[in-house]
């Protein structure tokens, strides 16, 4: 028997804990925290549910990252900032949207400063690049997320820590809450809400990359179960370069390094663009190496003091400024890739009552077919949280009480409700490993092939057909793990279904048979559905994000 309620109807007896709020936010990293604060400023009562602990959970809590923004009265800088990624976007970005996001990020930076948020006054690179321009939205992970947790509590947001959501609730086609479990007290919970904001992040498919263990695409699954669409899922072939033995994929040092194959030949480039070269070196020569020898030598000691990565080098007895060190590639999928839920300028998914922010959404409008990490990603998390928080609050105020009084049903199916008995958790893990074997290997996902995509889809569709109606967990821990496995399986099918329709090489989708861009395919591939996945193509500028709210 599964711990989680198998009945779809939510009533006073269905879950251990029943709560009511205007706006429910699912996910507590930067985007979710800021969306919750924005909803509170708009006058809504807010509950935030996080599968970990708000303040330490998520990718940002494990790293330091800065967001891009414009500046008043500096058109030259603003134009350079807005266009910084367009050269690699392969025609799929929208500079009007980028400018709107960066303008909003500046205003949010000022608000953070008013709240007492402390950040470095200058942007400083330990390898010698200094800019005197202010960096209002620079996030030192542990400090920043603790600051946001305190701000949430001060604002009156109720935080449900260690409380992963497992499904959305619907009343007559309107999303009216969500339900899940609390890992610590081993109780199920249901929250009836006037609106729900998904802030669950992307999907790294449990690759092991730093801070991504719980980032498994469950928000994508929730959204599609409710009727939302996905965009850009094929632009997911991004891997982070990490020193072998470390899980950190922070890329600040890439541009100051020289990369080599196992034979000792220098690779042609560095920076983020070196990922394909590093992958090719590993596949063709058995390994890849780096040495950080392009920065200013006097900065090495300073770098060790301020960058946690160098703690790994010190423990390993490696001087990365003088010695070559071996490399590993960690799959980052939709965390630094760009695909996700399609949303409007206000964060609406097209499903009444359901909004989405941050990395769970499509970000091709920001960086096109290339990765969205760092500046654009942070700016989007903040701006989308601001807009969705206000919009969800307004939606909840306009009929939210009536919607919450109507009977609700849980929308979760695969991995949550099943006709059969509970599967042993070992079998669930074997299934997850089988899915990962189609997604994580660099041989399959850095350089894709039409035959490889078709073979992976065949395997994944077979697994879906075999397990889709019978995947069920037992106790609290197993229920969460089983549902996350279902999200990983669904995400892999969407990824490859979209990839099968883009018969060209563009950005993070690299196709062996067609190594160049096809101008006729400068469009968006939109994905819908679970059992039967549907797809369609749309012109880039049909995105509702192109129109200011």
d(CA 276, CA 384) in angstroms, rounded, equals: 31
What is residue 131's predicted lDDT score, i.e. its pLDDT? 43
List of the chain residues with pLDDT < 50:
121-125, 127-133, 546-549
239-331 and 425-517 have identical folds: no
d(CA 126, CA 295) in angstroms, rounded, equals: 9
Q: Which of 293, 194, 182, 308 is nearest to 242 (CA)?
A: 308
Half-sphere exposure (CA, 13 Å, Cβ side) for 193? 34
What is residue 135's predicted lDDT score, i.e. its pLDDT? 66
φ/ψ bin of 358: left (φ > 0), alpha (ψ from -120 to 50), beta (otherwise): left
Third-level CATH fold of 239-331: Flavocytochrome C3; Chain A, domain 1 (3.90.700)
Burial of residue 298 (number of CB atoms within 10 Å: 0-12, 13-18, 19+): exposed
Helix (H, G, I), strand (E, B) or coil at 289: strand
What is residue 87's predicted lDDT score, i.e. its pLDDT? 93
Q: Which residues contact 528 (CB under 8 A, 6 or more apart)?
A: 224, 229, 230, 534, 535
Q: Which of 499, 390, 449 is nearest to 104 (CA)?
A: 390
Third-level CATH fold of 425-517: Methane Monooxygenase Hydroxylase; Chain G, domain 1 (1.20.58)
What is residue 130's predicted lDDT score, i.e. its pLDDT? 40
Which is it for the CA torsion 128, 132, 138, 141, positive or negative?
A: positive
Contact 203, 489 (CB under 8 A): no
pLDDT digits (tens, 9 = 90+) for 280-317: 999 999 999 999 988 766 555 555 555 667 788 888 99
What is residue 121's predicted lDDT score, i.e. its pLDDT? 40
What is residue 209's predicted lDDT score, i.e. its pLDDT? 87
What is residue 353's predicted lDDT score, i.e. its pLDDT? 97
d(CA 419, CA 367) in angstroms, rounded, equals: 43
Domain chopping of the chain, boundaries:
11-233+333-410, 239-331, 425-517
- Integer CA distances (angstroms), 320 to 286, 324, 378, in order: 21, 7, 29
What is residue 547's predicted lDDT score, i.e. its pLDDT? 43
Contact 177, 169 (CB under 8 A): yes
pLDDT digits (tens, 9 = 90+) for 12-64: 889 999 999 999 999 999 999 999 999 999 999 999 999 999 988 777 766 77
What is residue 60's predicted lDDT score, i.e. its pLDDT? 74
Third-level CATH fold of 11-233+333-410: FAD/NAD(P)-binding domain (3.50.50)
Q: Which of 75, 26, 19 is nearest to 51 (CA)?
A: 26
How many CB atoms are located within 10 Å of the residue 184 CB?
10
Which is it for the CA torsion 143, 359, 454, 510, positive or negative?
A: negative
């Amino acid at each position: 028997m599964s711990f989680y309620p198998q009945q779809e109807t939510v009533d006073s007896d269905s879950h251990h804990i029943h709560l009511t709020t205007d706006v429910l936010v699912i996910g507590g990293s930067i985007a979710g925290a800021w969306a919750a604060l924005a909803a509170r400023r708009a006058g809504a009562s807010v509950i935030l549910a996080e599968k970990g602990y708000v303040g330490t959970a998520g990718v940002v809590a494990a790293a330091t990252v800065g967001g891009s923004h414009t500046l008043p009265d500096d058109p030259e800088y603003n134009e350079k900032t807005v266009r910084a990624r367009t050269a690699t976007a392969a025609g799929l970005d929208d500079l009007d949207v980028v400018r709107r996001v960066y303008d909003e990020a500046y205003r949010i930076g000022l608000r953070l400063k008013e709240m007492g948020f402390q950040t470095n006054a200058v942007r400083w690179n330990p390898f010698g690049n200094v800019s005197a321009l202010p960096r209002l939205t620079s996030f030192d992970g542990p400090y920043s997320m603790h600051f946001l947790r305190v701000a949430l509590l001060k604002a009156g947001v109720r935080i449900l820590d260690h409380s992963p959501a497992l499904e959305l609730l619907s009343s007559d086609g309107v999303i009216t809450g969500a339900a899940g479990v609390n890992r610590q007290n081993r109780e199920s919970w249901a929250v009836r809400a006037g609106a729900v904001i998904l802030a669950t992040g992307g999907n790294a498919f449990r690759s092991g990359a730093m801070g991504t263990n719980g980032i498994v695409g469950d928000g994508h699954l929730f959204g599609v179960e409710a009727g939302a669409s996905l965009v850009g899922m094929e632009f997911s072939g991004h891997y982070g370069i990490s020193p072998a033995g470390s899980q950190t994929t922070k890329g600040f040092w890439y541009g100051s390094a020289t990369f080599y194959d196992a034979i000792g030949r220098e690779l042609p480039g560095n920076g983020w663009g070196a990922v394909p070269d590093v992958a090719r070196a590993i596949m063709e020569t058995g390994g890849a190496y780096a040495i950080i020898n392009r920065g200013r030598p006097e900065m090495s000691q300073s770098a060790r003091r301020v960058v946690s990565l160098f703690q790994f080098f010190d423990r390993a007895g490696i001087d990365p400024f003088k010695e070559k060190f071996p490399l590993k590639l960690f799959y980052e999928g939709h965390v630094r890739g760009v695909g996700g839920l399609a949303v409007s300028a206000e964060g609406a998914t097209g499903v009444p009552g359901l909004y989405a922010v941050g990395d769970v959404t499509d970000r091709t409008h920001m960086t096109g077919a290339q990765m969205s990490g760092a500046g654009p990603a942070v700016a989007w998390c903040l701006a989308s949280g601001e807009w969705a928080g206000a919009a969800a609050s307004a939606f909840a105020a306009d009929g939210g009480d009536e919607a919450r009084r109507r009977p609700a049903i849980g929308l979760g199916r695969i991995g949550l409700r099943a006709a059969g008995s509970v599967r042993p958790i070992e079998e669930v893990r074997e299934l997850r490993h089988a899915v990962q074997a189609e997604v994580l290997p660099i041989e399959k996902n850095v350089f894709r092939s039409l035959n490889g995509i078709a073979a992976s889809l065949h395997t994944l569709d077979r697994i879906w057909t075999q397990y889709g109606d019978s995947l069920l967990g037992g106790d609290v821990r197993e229920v969460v793990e089983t549902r996350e496995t279902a999200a990983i399986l669904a995400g892999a099918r969407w990824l490859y279904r979209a990839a099968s329709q883009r018969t060209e090489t563009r950005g993070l989708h690299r196709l062996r048979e067609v190594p160049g861009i096809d101008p006729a395919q400068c469009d968006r591939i939109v994905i819908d559905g679970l059992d039967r996945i549907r797809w369609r193509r749309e012109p880039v500028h049909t995105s509702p994000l192109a129109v200011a709210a």
